[in-house]
Structure 1
Amino acid sequence: MRWQKKIVKIDLNCEYPCPCRRKGRLLPIILTEAMGCDRCQQIFVVTDEEECIEQLTPSYPYKKKWRWNGKAWMLTQKPWQESYFYLTLSCFLASILISIPLLITLNGGVKLISGIILGLILILLCISLWLAYRR
C-alpha cells in the first residue's frame, strides 16, 4: 500500500499555485466553480466534492486531475494507469517466450511461416495494448 498525504478541500475564495508549473496563480472565476491561471490561461473546474481540480481542454480527450495536499498539487491517476507499462512489458515478454520455443520446434515450410505470423501477431497485440493505454 502506498503512503498518501492528507487531502485538503479546495476553497474557491483562495489563490493557489498553477499545477501546470508555470509559476502562475489560480484565481477564482466569479459566479462559477472554476479557477483560471493568470499565466498560462488554463481553466480548471473543482470536482469530487471540492477535493480535485480538473483541467478543461476541449480538444484533448484525457483530462488531468490534481489534488491539493496543503502545499502542492498531486496528479491523480487511476490504479490501472499506474501499472499499464508493466502489463504491456509482461505481455511482450510472454509473447517472446511463447514464440521462440514454437519457432525452434517447427521444421520449416508452412509451419515455420505460420509460427512467424503467430509471433508477429502477438507482438503487434502488445504494441496495440501499449498504444491504447498510454497518455
Structure 2
Amino acid sequence: MQSQKPEKIDFNTEYPCPCRRKGRLVPITLTEAFGCDRCQQIFVVEENGHVLEQLSTTYPYKRAWLWTGGNWRVVHPKLGESYLPIALGIIFVLVIIWLPLALKFANGSGLIKWAMVAVLLAILPALMVWLTYRR
C-alpha cells in the first residue's frame, strides 16, 4: 500500500494528470510548471514543491493536489477562502440580531413583511453556498 504522505514533485518526472486518467503531465521547459498532453491544462508547483495547482480554471477556487507517490490527493481550500464563513455570518446577523429587532419594532401588519424579508435574505447565502459547492 502506498503512503499517504505527500512527496516533493520532481520536474524531471512525468506524472499522471490529476484531471484525466489517461493524460500525462509533462514538464514545461524553463518553468516550474507541467502541461497535460490530453486536456491541455497547465499546472504550477506551489508551496516548496509539494502542491500542484491548476493554473487557469473556471472553478471559483483554485484546484490543487498533493502527490503521494502513486496518485494525486485533492487539497481542499482553507475555510477563509470559501463562501461558507460569509454565508454563516450573514445568517448569524439575520437570525440573532436583525430578526429580533424587526419583531420588536414591527406592528402587527408589518410583521409578515419583515418575516418574509428575513427568510429571503437567509435563503440568499444558502443559495450562494449551494451554487459554489455543486458539481
- Shorter chain as denominator, the TM-score bin is 0.5 to 0.7
Distance 1:70 1:108, change over 3 A: same
1:39-65 deviations in Å (ceiling 9; x for gaps): 111111111100011111176663211
TM-score of the aligned structures, taking structure 1 as reference length: 0.67
Contact kept? 1:46, 1:54, Cα under 8 Å:
yes
Contact kept? 2:61, 2:77, Cα under 8 Å:
no
Instruction: Report the counterpart of residue 45 of structure 1 in structure 2.
Output: 44
Distance 1:122 1:42, change over 3 A: closer
Gaps of 5+ in 2: none
Percent identity at matched positions? Answer: 45
- 2:117 equivalent to 1:112: no
Instruction: Report the counterpart of residue 33 of structure 1 in structure 2.
Output: 32
Instruction: Report the counterpart of residue 127 of structure 1 in structure 2.
Output: 127
Instruction: Report the counterpart of residue 55 of structure 1 in structure 2.
Output: 54
* SS of alignment partner, residue 40 of structure 2: coil
Instruction: Report the counterpart of residue 23 of structure 1 in structure 2.
Output: 22
1:81-100 residue pairs with structure 2 within 5 A? 84=84
1:80-100 deviations in Å (ceiling 9; x for gaps): 279x4xx86xx59x96xxx8x
Instruction: Report the counterpart of residue 75 of structure 2 in structure 1.
Output: 76
TM-score of the aligned structures, taking structure 2 as reference length: 0.67
* Matched length: 121
Contact kept? 1:22, 1:39, Cα under 8 Å:
no
CA RMSD in angstroms, aligned pairs only: 3.7
Deviation above 6 Å: which 4+ runs of structure 1? none
